[in-house]
Structure 1
Amino acid sequence: MKNFYLLLALFIGLNIQSQAIYKTIDSYKLDGERELKIQLPRNYNPDEKRTYPLIIVLDGDYLFEPIAGNIDYQSYWEDIPDCIVVGINQATTRENDFYYDNETFFPAHDGAAFYEFMAAELLPFIEDKYNASNFRIIVGHDLSANFINYYLFKDEPIFRAYVALSPDFATEMINRLQQRLSILNDEIFYYMATADADIKTMRASILEANTVISSIENEKFLYKFDDFEDANHYSLVGRGIPKALNQIFTLFKPINAKEYSEKVLTFEGSPYDYLVKKYEDIEHFYGFEKKLIENDIRAIAAASNKKDDLESLEKLSKLINKNFPKSMLSAYYSGMYNEKEGDLKRALQRYKAGLLLEPSQSVDKEMMLDKMYEIQEKMKR
């Protein structure tokens, strides 16, 4: 529990640089106003064409801050993309908002109104004001974690990823989920979590649901389940959120040591081809382009050198020049290519020219000077 509160404090502290914007939406469906909390990415520019994944947080009164903090922290380190986070405050309306009929077990009355509010009013409201992409995530906890499942039953679900933290399942929901998830035609990410000290009745149904859901054979259905130790109904939220984001954005993550050894080095094509495919897959899955990052550049350059793939290294250097023309990165990797092909004079020119450019996260003036001295020593031999 102590670690949970330390994490919350960390996220809240980080979130100071990404303060929430408070908006009010006037809803015809709900016959009144609703308060929203909105977090935009750092350095968000509404005039840019870039779009961002949209995360809708139910129970925003208490669930918004830990999610927004996680997003801000992980996106800062490029583990996940920058996202737009929208929380819906429901402290005084949640039982009505999540109401379902006791016979059909589908949303009814105020619950049906809230269900329609999401697609008919909230999403258009957000997308009209902000650069949100079509890759949408919805997050809920207990009652709201049950409610998010109803959006799966649309012919074309409006969300691509679902985060159900200790869901309080309605009757028939588990069977309905099994039927629906088995016939999905588009990729859907689904994360569910419970804990050893979760509410007993909820935990029992969640474990039953996991048994059913984990048996589904559908390559379009991407599922992750966690059963945390030493956590309860509330503290599991702090542990489940980063795990859920990790699941949803696995493909987006920088190339790590495991991916490098098991996928990059064993890829049938060249290392450069692997990089191109990875970024194309990201755009296909998430609906937005990923900006080329230094971590992936280093990994592909290392693989190219290990395989003595000069063509791959040349293509990589051209891609870097295109994406980072004012950075030392462009000079460093162009010089690496020239050095690899044996043109030491040109490599030296590249490294010298790089001294006038801007340092990056991994390449600075000292590194450029070291390469210059190294080349000069080689030219003396």
Structure 2
Amino acid sequence: MNRILAIIIFFISISTFGQSETNDSLKYEYKVEKLNSDFFKDERTVKIYLPPDYDKTQKYPVIYTLDGYELFGITTNYENFLAKYSVIPNCIVIGVFHNDRNYETTPNYGNNINIPTNQLLEGSEKLKNHLYKEIIPLINSKYSVSGFNILIGHSNTATLASQIISMPNNPFRGIIAITPDLLKEQIESLKNTLDKERNQNIYYFVSSGTKDDKYRFETGKKLDSILKKNTNIKVKSKQEIYSAGHLDLVVKSLNDALMFMFSDYRNYNDFRTKVIENKLSISDYIKAKSNSTNENYGINFNLDEDDFYYLLDLVIAQKNSNLLEQLFEVGEKNEFFAKEESYSQKAQLYEEMELYDEALENWKLQIENGYTENVFYYERPFIVIYEKLNKPKEAIDFLESSIKKYPKGKLIFSYDIAKVCAEREIYKNKGLKNIEYCIKEFKENRKFTLSEAEELKTKLEH
């Protein structure tokens, strides 16, 4: 049994980008655990980053970084910002540190004919076992993990990470390999593994640099070829080429890699097609997303407000009133609409779809049930009645009732009444009465000037 020697808490800072209201540095906490390895027969270092507001009742994907001295800090930084903006879910990040990197990570290039190239050299085999049987069990026992593990490697450890995909009992569903170097036989073994049927998705991201070692760049191109030919729907793979050298490739590609690992998180790319086909139940769609997110990442799915309004925009663009009604139910259930202005928000969405009767109904409900201390809530339905539905007499009736409900708006409403009377040449006396009130009680406003009111009166008198 491994003995935990110490838990030391450190605080490190990263600089914020862009504008900051407080100008404070963001801070995050990580723990350092020391453990004795039965495989290496020495003490090993593991760093553990927990996301802000870590909650043991929630589940978290875990990102394991080999080459901890190089990859732990930058991965934690990227995760911190991507999760802050909900591009990826909150994750635990683990830094695996090597005592003798050369011994632990040198790939098997076939120099020893007694060790087949699909097997690891002694040091790498120990590192794999240390990871499988000591580090992962430790993390699983101490923290609330979702079961979705990602392994990140750079250079030699990218080669190891790529080979682990083909090895028995692989505990990783996501592999990020930044400039790996694989032999032909190792690439073929990887291809055969990816071709096999599997129950769960696997995500494999490879990055290569045009300024890097030519053998590593060639590995990237060969991997790209087999990944593009792969037809296994459970294999999500991508190879990207960057204008980068061996070291800056990490900085340039890691952000893309992390986003790719969670490309099925908050993914609504299929929604537009389903809307166009008009074969969609919103509740069933959201339920399917929930099931898919849990299946892929072991975490709960939560439709957030940004996604809700994105889906609304797609529905409005297709003028699908049935789906709009379904989304309204989702919005109300999740309280995405401001409580006091829910009807006005719906009304404006109906207007966008040119469903003016439905828009008017909701404007009236807003006046009866919501916040209405502004002429806006009366002028908008007036415009719908007068301009969209072309009902000038009903528009005047509506404005006269609005004066009773919101006396503070009388100056504006009276001007609108007079303007309708003048434009449609109806109710001349009513028009004159209202414009005379506007001139007598005139106050500076955004609707009209005194000279405009006087011009309108002249028009009504002739």
Is TM > 0.5 for Structure 1 vs Structure 2? yes
State the TM-score bracket (shorter-chain normalisation): 0.7 to 0.9
* Deviation readout 1:299-325 (Å, 9 max, x if unpaired): 22334445555554444344344444x
The 8 Å contact of residues 192 and 225 in structure 1, kept in 2 or not, is answered as: yes
Sort the Cα spacing of 1:246 and 1:252 in 2 relative to 1 into closer, same or farther, 3 A: same
Equivalent-residue separation in structure 1 for 2:363 and 2:323 (angstroms): 19
Measure the CA separation in 2 of the matches of 1:139 and 1:370.
58
Which of the residues 142, 152, 159 maps onto 1:146? 159
For residues 43-82 of structure 1, what are the structure 2 equivalents within 5 Å? 43-46=53-56, 49-82=57-90
Alignment of 1:194-205 (within 5 A): 194-205=208-219
* Counterpart-to-counterpart distance in 1, 2:51 and 2:161: 24
- How far apart, in 2, do the equivalents of 1:50 and 1:281 lie? 17
1:130 aligns with one of 124, 130, 143: 143
Aligned counterpart, 1:251: 264
Map Cα deviations across residues 86-106 of structure 1 (whole Å, 9 max, x no partner). 11112x322222256632231
User: Could you tell me how far 1:250 is from its partner in structure 2?
Assistant: 1.9
Q: Deviations over 1:126-178 (max 9, x none)?
A: 12222211111110001101111333224553111110000132562111111
Change (3 A) 1:125 1:270: same
Partner of 2:354: none
Deviations 1:183-231 (A, max 9, x none): 14132111111111101222223323332343233222111111112x1
* Mapping of residues 63-102 of structure 1, within 5 Å: 63-90=71-98, 92-99=99-106, 102=112
Gaps of at least 5 residues in structure 1 are 1-7, 356-367
Larger mean CA deviation between 133-142 and 283-292 belongs to 283-292
The 1:64/1:180 distance shift into structure 2, 3 A limit, reads same
Alpha carbons 2:203, 2:236 under 8 Å: kept:
yes
> Percent identity between the aligned chains?
23
How far 1:332 moved relative to its partner? Answer: 4.6
Unaligned ranges ≥5, structure 2? 1-13, 18-22, 351-357, 385-394, 400-462
Task: Confirm whether residue 32 of structure 1 aligns to residue 45 of structure 2.
Answer: no
> Residues 219 and 261 (structure 1 numbering): CA distance in 2 closer, same or farther, change over 3 Å?
closer
Q: For the structure 1 residues 349 and 237, does the alpha-carbon distance in structure 2 shift closer, same or farther, using more than 3 Å as the test?
A: farther
Is contact 1:59-1:88 (8 Å) kept?
A: yes
Aligned residue identity for 1:157: N
For residues 252 and 75 of structure 1, the distance between their equivalents in structure 2, rounded to whole angstroms, comes to 11
Aligned to 2:456: none
Measured after TM superposition, the shift of residue 253 of structure 1 is 3.8
Matched residue count: 351
Corresponding residue SS for 1:174: helix
Note the aligned Cα RMSD (angstroms). Answer: 3.3
1:164 partner SS: strand
Query: In the TM superposition, what is the alpha-carbon distance from 1:10 to its structure 2 partner?
Result: 5.7
TM normalised by structure 2 equals 0.67
* 3-state DSSP of counterpart to 1:214: helix
Give runs of aligned pairs for residues 88-237 of structure 1, distance below 5 A. Answer: 88-90=96-98, 92-99=99-106, 102=112, 103-105=115-117, 106-169=119-182, 172-185=185-198, 186-229=200-243, 231-237=244-250
Change (3 A) 1:276 1:372: farther
CA contact (8 A) 2:223 2:239 kept: no
Aligned partners of 1:218 and 1:184: how far apart in 2? 7
Structure showing greater Rg: 2
